[in-house]
Amino acid sequence: MTGGAAPGPDGAPRCPWGFSTPDYMPYHDEEWGRPVHGDDALFERLCLEAFQSGLSWITILRRREGFRRAFAGFRIAAVAAFTDADRERLLADEGIIRNRAKVDATLANARVLEGWEPGELDRLIWSHAPDPANRPAPRTLADVPAVTPESTALAKALKQRGIRFVGPTTAYALMQACGLVNDHLAGCVARAPHQAPTAPANPAAKSPAPATA
């Protein structure tokens, strides 16, 4: 899929992937590319992008509520307190991706992040947002990169702080999903409502458990 924005089922132009399956449309229209702040909310996105590695995003999206139930709403403090019994429960949970390395990385990352200052994950991730003025709207999917210097730097910064299972490609997918960049195609109905990246109103606050999508 390399074309530009095209009419969706309702006639509105969208990124072609955004209506390739009905499950994608709400995510594309209402969530993907919109700024996300809060340590717990960003932890969720970081975990889901890591679980997506080597798989299609739709596989993760369709299991998202299963992931949220399994990982206590991705509250960092709760996941950091998971025991060996919780690990075994996760590896037997058919509602998530039962990949041992990814499960172990999620638990390890929560324990690392539990030791950070409130808002520290938010600030670290958003410090790598590129200047939107230097990023013209992509006209086709072929114009959307998979890796950028900023995502490479973000992956390196996270790894240096002890975060596992995040590379430059995963970091860029995180940046796209959380609104650090706006990669909706020119003409896409979901592009215009997006705001330029902004600092959180209260960077010291951790977010509550993610709301149900």
* Residue spans per domain, the chain: 37-128+140-178
pLDDT mean across residues, the chain:
90
The pLDDT of residue 194 is above 80: no
Residue 197 confidence class, pLDDT cut points 50, 70, 90: very low
172 is catalytic: no
pLDDT score of 212: 29
24 in active site: no
Q: What is the pTM of this model?
A: 0.88
Using alpha carbons, select from 110, 156, 122, 129 the residue that is nearest to residue 33: 129
CB burial of residue 32 (10 Å; 0-12, 13-18, 19+): buried
* Of 115-129, 167-181, 182-196, the least confident: 182-196
Cα separation of 205 and 126, whole Å?
15
Count how many residues are written for the chain: 213
**Does the pLDDT at position 209 exceed 80?**
no
- The answer to whether 35 and 201 are in contact (CB under 8 A) is no
* Digit-coded pLDDT (tens) for 72-88: 999 999 999 999 999 99
28/49 Cα distance (integer angstroms): 16
Place 3 in a pLDDT band, splitting at 50, 70 and 90: confident
Choose the catalytic residue: 27, 114, 116, 120.
Answer: 27
37-128+140-178 is classed CATH 1.10.340.30: yes
Q: Which of 57, 114, 116, 120 is catalytic?
A: 57
Q: Is 27 noted as a catalytic residue in this protein?
A: yes
The catalytically annotated residue of 24, 32, 44, 49 is 49
